[in-house]
Every structure is written in C-alpha cells, then in structure tokens.
Amino acid sequence: MLDTINEPLIIAEPTSTQLSYMDAIVQAQKEEMLRDERVVMIGEDVSIYGGTELVRSFDENRVRNMPISENSFTGMAIGAAMTGLRPIVDLTIASFTYLAADQIINQASKLRYMTGGQIQVPIVFRAGMYYKIGNAAQHSDRPYPFFMSAPGLKIIVPSTAADMKGLLKSAVRDDDPVMIFEDCNLWAKKDLVSTDPDFLIPIGCADIKRPGSDVTIISIGACLPMVLAAAKTLQKQGISAEVVDPRTLVPLDKEVLIRSVAKTGRLVIVDNAHRTNSAASEIAAVIAEEAFESLRKPIQRVTTADVHIPFSPVLEKIVYPTAADVIGAVNKIQ
C-alpha cells in the first residue's frame, strides 16, 4: 500500500483532440490495423472514399482495391474472416449494401449458428449513407432497418466523431459480424476525441446526449444535431427534453431507454429511415411492450416519409425529419 503512494506522479499527456467524423473513421481503422496485422481493409476506390491515408500507410496485403463486384468481394472477405483475418469491408454508399446483402445475411450472419459455433466471423461492414445531396433514390438509402431484421449481425449508427472512433474500434475487435452505418452529413463535424489507441466505446451502450425531465427524445444517427437544436428550442418553451442516442441498434440498450422513459413519461423517436419498419418502429414496440405503464401519452415517431428519395431538391428537402417536426411531435403529447 505504502509503495503505491510513494510512486512518482505521472503527468498525464493531452488525451484528447478535435477530430472530424471522417478523420475518426480513418484513424480508427489505422490504429486497429497497426495494432493487429490480421486487420485488412478492402473496398472500391479506397483512396477516394476517405482512405488516402490508409493507402499511403499500408501495402496491398493490408489495403486492397476491389473491382466492382460487391457480392463476391463481400463473400471473399467473409471467407477470409472465417480463416484468420479480420477484414473491414468498405461498401462505400449504403445503397450498395443491397448487392452485398446475400453474403452478409445468408453467410456472415448465419454461419456461426449453422456450424454449431465452430467458426467465428470477425468482420466489419462499413456503409456510408449519402443523402440530402441530390443523389436520387438509388444512392440515398438509409438501410439499417433491413439488416436489423437479420439475426446474427450487430448494427451501429454513430452520431459523433468520438462515438464513431470508439465504436468502429470496438467493431474491429468484436468476434462477430458488425455493420457500421456512417453518415456523410456528419463528415466535417468535429468533436473532442480521445487519442488513446485503446479508447473504445462498447457495442450495445446508449448515451444520454442531453439530460432532461419532461420528454425523452430518442435520436438515431445523424438526427442528433437537429434533435439537440430542437431540445434547445423546447427548453425556451419550458419543456425539458432528454436526448438519448442508442448508438447501437442491435443489440439495443433497452435499459437506458426504458429508464429515461420511466423518468419522463413521454417518448418521441427520431429516425432518418423510412417510416415503415424503421428503427424507430422497433424501439417503439420495445417501449410499448416493456414500459407501457411509464407512458403518459402515445409514442410518437418522426421519420422519413415512405417515399423514394426524389432527385429534385425542392422535393428532397421535405422528406426527412426536421427540428420543427420534432418540436411538433413533442408538443402533440404535452
């Protein structure tokens, strides 16, 4: 005991730095690739989709540019994961996950179970959601709900640079298939991120982004900045909103969500996915089943309309949830 007290004081180095969401993605991968040589990265035009730094830092054994063959290179990575590598597959635009979906769902998600636990599939699928930028319907999907209904996958939707870095690193270290949905609307957004190469955020933990007492607003992925702005406006109205970010959709941190609703008695869920079968729908079902007595008013979902993302900017801008929609939903259940 005395010994420890007499140990010399270690001056802590600066432990965090301002980092953009995009740089968090790059750094997380670079750190994990440096730490573990089994981590390899594959994707199309890696150097364009933010991966220039990785192409410069690693040779072709570690970073490999793929032909446009999403279904097969995804399967190839799954095969490699089963036999000793820990691949990160960059599927670039999230709408392309549909082309890889057969291998992700029929193989990656199922093989451990179907082989009676003989194998592990430690793999990360990255998908960037490019929307609100006039890319039209075949490039603008936010498809995480589809993959939520495939058991065997873990699904992550980080909303800040710190969450991105910590969760992506956890995903690489996880022994099961993890899909991480990134949001291009957050790329440039900076926040304070730990520089510790072992900084991790555990998969399956929600985060209270703003404490409050009158209403719970569950915000999924890139809805967060808009939801926080709405919460500020509500504060001026005298309504104290608690903003909770699940961060991980599978597994869902039910405990934190239920505890918040138990405190506030009111729930609004904000999700950029299409309304039908959205992540918001699943969360609403969980709360209705497990915390019905806490609710003083019906649950409200604020989601993207069930319509394809139109090209024309005048149409595109009206399909996604806005702060006004969130405020409207909160006021509706006061």
Known catalytic residues?
139
Nearest approach, Cβ of residue 272 and other proteins (Å) = 16
Q: Measured between alpha carbons, how far is 223 from 165 in angstroms, rounded to an integer?
A: 18
Interaction between residue 95 and other proteins (CB under 8 A)? yes
User: Which spans in the chain are helix H?
Assistant: 2-6, 21-35, 52-57, 70-82, 97-101, 111-114, 144-148, 161-173, 224-236, 254-264, 279-290, 313-316, 323-332
Q: Measured between alpha carbons, how far is 285 from 300 in angstroms, rounded to an integer?
A: 11
Dihedrals phi, psi of 20, to nearest 5 degrees: -80, 160
Residue in the structure block whose two tokens are 């989601």: 303
Interaction between residue 313 and other proteins (CB under 8 A)? yes
Q: Which of 21, 58, 96, 131 binds ligand TPP (CB under 6 A)?
A: 96
Beta-carbon contacts of 275 under 8 Å, excluding residues fewer than 6 positions away, are 281, 301, 303, 304, 305, 306
Interaction between residue 68 and ligand TPP (CB under 6 A)? yes
Secondary structure letter of residue 103 according to DSSP? I
Neighbouring CB atoms inside 10 A of 29's CB total: 27
Q: Which of 114, 119, 262, 318 binds other proteins (CB under 8 A)?
A: 318
Q: Nearest to residue 223, comparing CAs of 268, 260, 258? A: 268
Q: Measured between alpha carbons, how far is 270 from 219 in angstroms, rounded to an integer?
A: 5
Cβ-based nearer residue to other proteins, 294 or 300: 300
Interaction between residue 67 and ligand TPP (CB under 6 A)? no
Cβ-based nearer residue to other proteins, 174 or 316: 316
Q: Which of 18, 69, 149, 213 binds other proteins (CB under 8 A)?
A: 69
Q: Measured between alpha carbons, how far is 225 from 244 in angstroms, rounded to an integer?
A: 12
Q: What is the dihedral of CA 40, 43, 49, 53, to 10 degrees?
A: 30
- CB distance 280 to 301 below 8 Å: yes
Nearest approach, Cβ of residue 304 and ligand TPP (Å) = 21
Q: Which of 35, 38, 57, 71 binds other proteins (CB under 8 A)?
A: 71
Nearest approach, Cβ of residue 99 and ligand TPP (Å) = 5
Cβ-based nearer residue to ligand TPP, 66 or 234: 66
Interaction between residue 139 and other proteins (CB under 8 A)? yes
Nearest approach, Cβ of residue 93 and other proteins (Å) = 9
Interaction between residue 138 and other proteins (CB under 8 A)? yes
Interaction between residue 99 and ligand TPP (CB under 6 A)? yes
Give the SS3 label for residue 2.
helix
With contacts defined by CB under 8 A, how many residues of the chain interact with other proteins?
Answer: 36
Cβ-based nearer residue to ligand TPP, 32 or 44: 44
Cβ-based nearer residue to other proteins, 35 or 308: 308
Contact set with ligand TPP (CB under 6 A): 44, 68, 70, 96, 99
Contact set with other proteins (CB under 8 A): 44-45, 47-48, 52, 55, 65-72, 95-96, 99, 134-139, 275, 305-308, 310-315, 318-319
